[in-house]
């Protein structure tokens, strides 16, 4: 697996103990990598609609959700790896806020 600095940075606060484990959280724009593998047992709901990346997640042993998660789903933690398209990233971030539960 190639190095993925964005994925590593996203999981750094969990790896170093700054934040509690993202147990039962959602991960929008999930992609495979060692950082995600370390937290695979946390029960993250990984959303990925881009077929090649979803297939890579499956090969890594992570079953992605291919349809968008929509409210009223409420997660205590919502992680986002934004896409390169600005408008899509904004929409994903807005959806992430709506998916976060009252304590998220």
Query: Per residue in 42-87, pLDDT tens?
Result: 999 999 999 999 999 999 999 999 888 888 888 999 999 998 999 9
Q: Quick one: three-class SS letters along the chain? A: CCCCHHHHHHHHHHHCCCCCCCCCCEEECCCCCHHHHHCHHHCCEEECCCHHHHHHHHHCCCCCECCCCCCCCCECCEEECCCCCHHHHHHHHHHHHHHECCCC
Q: Whole-model pTM?
A: 0.91
Task: Answer whether residue 102 shows pLDDT above 80.
Answer: no
Q: What is the mean pLDDT of the segment spanning 27-48? A: 94
**Domain spans in the chain, listed from the N-terminal domain onward:** 5-11+32-99
Q: What is the mean pLDDT of the segment spanning 92-102? A: 90
């Amino acid at each position: 697996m190639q190095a993925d600095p964005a994925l590593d940075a996203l999981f750094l606060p969990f790896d170093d103990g700054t934040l509690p484990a993202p147990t039962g959280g959602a991960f929008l724009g999930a992609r495979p990598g060692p950082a995600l593998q370390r937290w695979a047992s946390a029960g993250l709901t990984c959303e990925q609609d881009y077929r090649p990346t979803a297939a890579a997640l499956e090969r890594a042993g992570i079953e992605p959700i291919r349809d968008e998660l929509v409210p009223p789903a409420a997660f205590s933690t919502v992680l986002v790896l934004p896409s390169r398209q600005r408008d899509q990233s904004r929409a994903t971030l807005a959806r992430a806020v709506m998916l976060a539960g009252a304590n998220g």
